[in-house]
Amino acid sequence: MNQKELLIEEVNRLVKTRNGDAIDKAEMLLEDYLKEKPKEVDMWVRLAVFELTSLFSYYPKSLGCINTVLDTEPSNFTAIMLLTCVDRFHAPVSHNLLDKLSSIKTDDPEKLSMIEYVKSWSYEQIEENKYSKLNGDSSEGFYKSPENYKQYESALKKSIKHYQHHINNYEFLAHLYAKCNRKKEAVELLKVAIKNANALDKENSNDKEDESSPQNYLNWLVKGTCIYASTYESLGEYLVEYSKP
């Protein structure tokens, strides 16, 4: 193993202890490495994820890492994806996220799918507890306007068209259709989401041991492909609910 691989292994070992002093040490190891090698973009991205997921999650520090990457690579795919996650799950950080997403040049269908999925977040109502509203816990007040409703649906449909092996795009389009009394379509979408979850689980394609991995972070929040028992439980409950007359 090279120096970087040994460092990542040690960081993950320390993080798994869930001990405050150990996590502080893990952070220091990443920071010291970047002081010596400040041009290693992948490690800035890894530190950004560490700051979002560690016991002492602190998104402003993560933003600093992301911006360091974007200062040198303005269209860096992973950094922009992380920026959209910070904006959605922590605090508003940018008014031009759609422009940043549109600046990414790629022919990769999976990346194009992820871009459209996170674009859908921009068409939601900005209000408290918006994540629970996505999951159908509120019957009204979800969209800013009928136009945003259509944009939200369109982005999710484009995400699915680009790549058919994720979970979140199917699941959240299903929630939208269930809200609109299009339950048959919602059920079919959830069936595909469950099928995809089964396939991914059998492949065991997610290395969940690497807790500061940008890939795993995006698998969880964007693709929905980090498969746990709760994944099946949640999808199954919605399938039963939306199958009711």
- Using one digit for the tens of pLDDT, what is the confidence trace for 85-94? 999 999 888 7
Determine the average pLDDT of the residues in 135-150: 56
pLDDT digits (tens, 9 = 90+) for 16-55: 998 999 999 999 999 999 999 999 999 999 999 999 998 8
The token pair that represents 231 in the structure block: 């994944």
Shared domain for 125 and 76, answered yes or no, is no
Shared domain for 41 and 115, answered yes or no, is no
Number of domains in the chain: 2
The DSSP output letter for 221 is I
Lowest mean pLDDT among 98-112, 193-207, 208-222, 229-243: 193-207
Q: Is 212 helix (H, G, I), strand (E, B) or coil?
A: coil
> How many other C-beta atoms can be found within 10 angstroms of the C-beta atom of residue 12?
15
Transcribe 57-94 into DSSP letters. --HHHHHHHHHHHHHH-TT-HHHHHHHHHHHHHT----
Shared domain for 149 and 31, answered yes or no, is no
pTM value is: 0.88
Contacts of 27 (CB under 8 A, 6+ apart): 47, 50, 51, 54
**b/e sequence 123-149, b meaning 16+ C-beta within 10 Å:** bbeeeeeeeebbebeeeeebbeeeeeb
- What whole-number distance in Å separates Cα of residue 166 and Cα of residue 184? 20
Shared domain for 12 and 58, answered yes or no, is yes
Looking at residue 189, which CATH number applies to its domain?
1.25.40
Domain boundary among 104, 129, 155: 104
pLDDT at 203: 58
Domain boundary among 63, 88, 104: 104
Shared domain for 144 and 236, answered yes or no, is yes
Shared domain for 164 and 187, answered yes or no, is yes
Domain boundary among 60, 79, 104: 104
> 42: domain range?
1-104
